[in-house]
């Protein structure tokens, strides 16, 4: 009789997560730590990123060998390279990159300025591409099994949601980037996937439109499960996609939306 092992066991693995100083990104870091992985917390601001890493070390009773931090504007290739190398230097290896950092501005399409468009596309697409490329370059030079990139997409990348024009465009771009990189890097045993959440109970900083009760009612009405996702429910699929159990999955967009896009 063969021995059994815990599903999604990531003991000894190292995962770098951008946009992990708060919200869904922080929940993703917690999910990986629960499965035995070590994590690199990425954020834009040093104080907030260091504070998030300290919080995780306290919660999980671990030290810097399990939780490290790196900060910077990842839309610049050198900062993205530094983020990947920070994980390698702190933990000696890197198995999974979660390109999660993102921003949103909610307003009618006619009101967006060119700078707002560029800011969303730069943070949501360019930074993720720079990170993925930095990780892949290292992995191709030092081949090993089990490497993967997981992007954070959104249901807005596949369905039309008013007042989200640049955000939707950025997530549609992520979906196509996933498919392209998955096919391009498959010969190097690098898997590329994305998780596409629906509405989550952790709201992006600066987004106030969801304070409107009518907006909340609309979200619940169009979501068959009748509620927003908890951040932990969105984080769990990232663990699955990074695990050995997902070894034959690449080029996929895993939708986690309570049935929103099923209608």
pLDDT (0 to 100) of residue 197: 97
pLDDT of 3 reads 61
In the structure encoding, which two tokens stand for residue 18, read together?
A: 């951008």
CATH of the domain at 166: 3.40.50.720
Average pLDDT on 56-76 reads 97
Q: Which of 112, 167, 199, 248 is catalytic?
A: 167
Confidence bin at 1 (pLDDT 50/70/90): very low
Q: Domain residues for 42?
A: 14-256
* β partners of residue 42: 70
Per the domain annotation, does 4 fall within a domain?
A: no
| Residues 125-175: tens digit of each pLDDT | 999 999 999 999 999 999 999 999 999 999 999 999 999 999 999 999 999
222 pLDDT more than 60: yes
Whether this prediction's pTM lies above 0.75 is answered by: yes
- On whether residue 63 sits in a domain, the answer given is yes
Tell me, what's the pLDDT at 205? 47
Q: Please state, rounded to an integer, the average pLDDT across all residues of the chain.
A: 94
Q: Tell whether 104 is covered by a domain.
A: yes
The encoded tokens of residue 156 equal 């807005």
pLDDT at 204 over 80: no
- Percent of all residues in the chain with a pLDDT value above 70, rounded to a whole number: 95
- Which tokens in the block code for residue 28? 């993703």
The answer to the question of residue 8 being in a domain is no
What is the predicted pLDDT for the residue at 263?
A: 86
Tell me if 9 is assigned to some domain.
no
Domain assignment present for 263: no
Q: Is residue 5 part of a domain?
A: no
Domains in the chain, number: 1
Report the C-alpha gap between 22 and 36 in whole angstroms: 20
Domain annotation covers residue 3: no
Q: What is the pLDDT of residue 70?
A: 97
pLDDT tens profile 223-255: 999 999 999 999 999 999 999 999 999 999 999
For residue 213, the model assigns a pLDDT of 82
**What string of DSSP letters covers the chain?**
-PPP--TT--TT-EEEETT-SSHHHHHHHHHHHHTT-EEEEEESSHHHHHHHHHHHHHHHT--TTTEEEEES-TTSHHHHHHHHHHHHHHHS---EEEE-------S-GGG--HHHHHHHHIIIIIHHHHHHHHHHHHHHHS--TTEEEEEE--GGGTS--TT-HHHHHHHHHHHHHHHHHHHHHGGGTEEEEEEEE--BSSPPTT--GGGSHHHHHHHHHHSTT-SPBPHHHHHHHHHHHHSGGGTT--S-EEEESTTGGG-
CA-to-CA separations, 254 to 34, 49, 85, 140, in angstroms, rounded: 21, 27, 28, 25
Which of residues 59 and 208 earns the better pLDDT score?
Answer: 59
Catalytic residue flag (residue 248):
no
């Amino acid at each position: 009789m063969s021995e059994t092992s815990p599903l999604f066991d990531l003991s000894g693995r190292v995962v770098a997560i951008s946009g992990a100083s708060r919200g869904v990104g922080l929940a993703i870091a917690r999910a990986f730590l629960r499965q035995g992985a070590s994590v690199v917390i990425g954020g834009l601001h040093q104080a907030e990123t260091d504070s998030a890493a300290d919080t995780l070390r306290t919660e999980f009773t671990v030290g810097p060998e399990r939780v490290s931090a790196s900060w910077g504007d990842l839309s610049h290739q050198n900062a993205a390279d530094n983020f990947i190398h920070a994980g390698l230097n702190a933990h000696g290896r890197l198995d999974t990159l979660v390109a999660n950092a993102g921003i949103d501005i909610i307003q009618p399409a006619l009101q967006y300025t060119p700078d707002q468009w560029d800011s969303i596309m730069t943070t949501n697409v360019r930074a993720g591409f720079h990170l993925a490329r930095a990780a892949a370059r290292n992995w191709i030079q030092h081949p090993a099994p089990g490497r993967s990139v997981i992007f954070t997409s959104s249901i807005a990348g596949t369905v039309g949601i008013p007042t989200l024009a640049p955000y939707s465009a950025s997530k549609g771009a992520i979906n196509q980037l996933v498919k392209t990189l998955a096919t391009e890097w498959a010969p190097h045993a690098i898997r590329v996937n994305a998780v596409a959440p629906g509405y989550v109970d952790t709201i992006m900083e600066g987004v106030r439109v969801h304070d409107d009760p009518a907006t909340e009612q609309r979200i619940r009405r169009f979501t068959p499960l009748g509620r927003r996702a908890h951040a932990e429910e969105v984080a769990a699929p990232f663990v699955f996609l990074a695990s050995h159990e997902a070894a034959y999955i690449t080029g996929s967009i895993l939708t986690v939306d309570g049935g929103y896009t099923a209608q």
